[in-house]
Amino acid sequence: MLKFNALKASLSFSVLLLLALSSCQKNNTSTPGNKVSVILSDGPGNYQQVNIDVLKVEVKEDLDGNHHQDDHFGDNDADSLNDHKKEDEFGRWIAVDSTEQTVDLLTLQNGVEQILGSSTVLNNVRKIRITLGTNNTVVDSNGVSHPLQLANPARNFLYVRIHDEDKDDDGGVNNQALRIDFDISRSIVERNGQYYLVPIIRPFSEKHFGAVKGTVLPIGIRAKVTLDDGNGFTKDAFAEHEGMFKVRGLKEGTYSVTYSANGFTSQTVTGIVVTKGKVTTLDPITLQ
């Protein structure tokens, strides 16, 4: 009887040990996922306000982990074929944790940014989709408010394609930031007093892109600063508090910088070298 009880106890212990090991193996192979945040920034333009009506923000997750090393999987995923879709061969759309909101893009200048929302994903994010409402407005330089219409009202989606160079590790392990730059100065078209939104949006990361900052004097003239890489890419900023400005999302290269303001003579500085992951500080400029 004693031998039977001992054998029974031994078998019970073995079963418990196997269950414990099985549980450990499952935990070790589980994937916690990445917290992904969509961040909007840098929207300069010669207006007093540019308000966009954001209804929803989503990210498109590639469901096939076999594509993890293929940074260009999904490059052929046409934006127009994603309207109103939830899932296709390129992935599944996941809504980030956000609320309907009106964002004044002109408050997001010179390095200021706003988190639109966050979500947890298990695989690579290939795209961002922002759904806009109809309450978009622009306040011109004279303080007059105008409706800001979509160029194609039937397509109220903004898409941003994401590659590895566009991703930042933010705030520690498993926190990823997707930063997007809304180029307002080139995204609004005026025709016969009507304003249209033709969005130009670019993704960037602080790790793989560079930045330039500086000061334009006299203070208060709100000088326009234009960077040009000589290959067709330009980017604007407007000097604000104390004449300071900052331009992010610049690829490595050599730029010229033009400073201009109403009533002042423009100046151009050439040979400005931008390095990824770094901020280049320019000498102060005084316009005459």
What pLDDT, on the 0 to 100 scale, is given for residue 34?
Answer: 83
**Largest Cα span, the chain:** 106
**For residues 196 and 188, is the Cβ–Cβ distance under 8 A?**
yes
Residue environment code for 169-189, b if the CB has 16+ CB neighbours within 10 A, otherwise e: ebeeeeebbbbbbbbbbebbe
What pLDDT, on the 0 to 100 scale, is given for residue 24?
Answer: 41
CA distance 257 to 99: 38
Quick one: DSSP state of residue 140? -
Looking up tokens 């207006």 gives 47
> Structure tokens of 87?
């899932």
Residue of 186, 194, 250, 256 lying closest to 225 (CA atoms): 256
CB atoms within 10 A of CB 36: 24
Q: How far is CA 227 from CA 66, 154, 210, 250, in A?
A: 40, 34, 12, 9
What pLDDT, on the 0 to 100 scale, is given for residue 21?
Answer: 38
pTM of the complete model: 0.84
Q: What is the pLDDT of residues 189-201, one digit of tens each?
A: 999 989 999 999 9
Cα 180 versus chain centre, distance: 2
What pLDDT, on the 0 to 100 scale, is given for residue 4?
Answer: 39
For the chain, residues with pLDDT lower than 50 are: 1-31
What pLDDT, on the 0 to 100 scale, is given for residue 7?
Answer: 39
CA dihedral 259, 205, 77, 40 (to 10 degrees): -70
What pLDDT, on the 0 to 100 scale, is given for residue 143?
Answer: 95
Every domain of the chain and the residues it spans: 31-205, 209-288
What pLDDT, on the 0 to 100 scale, is given for residue 28?
Answer: 34
What pLDDT, on the 0 to 100 scale, is given for residue 173?
Answer: 62
Quick one: DSSP state of residue 43? -
The domain 209-288 belongs to what CATH superfamily? Immunoglobulins (2.60.40.10)
> Structure tokens of 95?
């809504």
**For residues 125 and 61, is the Cβ–Cβ distance under 8 A?**
yes
